[in-house]
Amino acid sequence: MTGDALAAAERRLAAAGVPTPRNDAELLVRHVTGWGRGELLLRRARPMPADAGDRLEPLVARRAAREPLQLILGSVGFRHLDLLVRPGVFLPRPETEVLAGEAADRTPAGGVVVEPCTGTGAIACAVASESAPGRVLATDVSAEAVALARENAARCGVAVEVGRGDLLGPVPRALRGHVDVLVCNPPYVAEAELAGLEPEVRDWDPVAALVSGPTGNEVVERLVDAAPRWLRPGGWLLLELDPARAAVTAARCRVAGLTDVGVVRDLAGRDRIVLARHGMRSSSAGAI
């Protein structure tokens, strides 16, 4: 019966240490059957189609080996979007949906939005679809990420320019002082912290998308220091980061001359996002 297959999958995932075995088992069963959640509930006492059962076993084995569920399913829901995901590109996280929403809320009509470290393009696509920007630019050092972000933008039907390069390197210099929203989920793991991450993260996400350097705050600091040069007066910087580093990052924003510095909590109540505003035009022409 379908319920038996579901229970067996849940037990196997739980034994493997998967954090959410029931949820993952249900999603895998729905994936191979094509059923919605309600249909799965109605069919629990009925036999699962034979071909679906055959396809379920290897998928459960992959998840039990701690391969991320998103990669097994091939896509991930992010806010109202369905984004493609692939090995070698950083996977979007639920907490980052909060960051995307904060960025969209601060994007003026016709404004310019820049997202370094775009990965799948999740934030850029969400902002482009939920607000009315004049221009959205995203960057990443990874060729695989750039290709996937472009594919997701086309899939979502939004206009996002994606360039390959380090942080703000690919962004046209003519946009300095004219960016309305600079939003980023940068690498913020310290080198010594990598080994302690969950297998789904440590073994599958690109190290370059996770690890910033010895302190974990190197990329965040570069973006904070560059923000006054790129933001227009009144423009916003929004950064996702390690909750343990929220206070020090907020302090650095103030040192950089940014104002209206605040912290936003994620879905679990942790200080996950630092935001700050550029209150005056900077005359500095230095590069990030």
Does residue 245 surpass a pLDDT of 90? Answer: yes
Does residue 282 surpass a pLDDT of 80? Answer: no
pLDDT, mean of residues 209-230: 97
Helix (H) or strand (E) holding 213: strand 211-213
Name the residue range of residue 96's domain.
79-278
The C-alpha atoms of residue 211 and residue 191 are separated, in whole angstroms, by 6
Does residue 156 surpass a pLDDT of 70? Answer: yes
Q: Are residues 27 and 90 in the same domain?
A: no
Q: Are residues 54 and 104 in the same domain?
A: no
Q: Are residues 119 and 222 in the same domain?
A: yes
Q: Answer yes or no: are the C-beta atoms of 127 and 236 closer than 8 Å.
A: no
Q: Is residue 261 part of a domain?
A: yes
Q: Is residue 106 part of a domain?
A: yes
Query: In the prediction, which pLDDT does 45 show?
Result: 81
Does residue 279 surpass a pLDDT of 80? Answer: yes
Count of alpha carbons within 13 Å of 18, Cβ hemisphere only?
24
Amino acid at 101: G
Under the banding of pLDDT at 50, 70 and 90, the label for residue 50 is confident
Q: Answer yes or no: are the C-beta atoms of 276 and 261 closer than 8 Å.
A: yes
**DSSP character at residue 65:** T
Q: Is residue 30 part of a domain?
A: yes
Lowest mean pLDDT among 1-5, 91-95, 144-148, 234-238: 1-5
Q: Are residues 201 and 61 in the same domain?
A: no
Do strands 189-190 and 179-184 pair parallel, antiparallel, or not at all (unpaired)?
Answer: unpaired
Query: In the prediction, which pLDDT does 267 show?
Result: 85
Q: Answer yes or no: are the C-beta atoms of 234 and 259 closer than 8 Å.
A: no
pLDDT, mean of residues 129-144: 97
Does residue 5 surpass a pLDDT of 80? Answer: yes
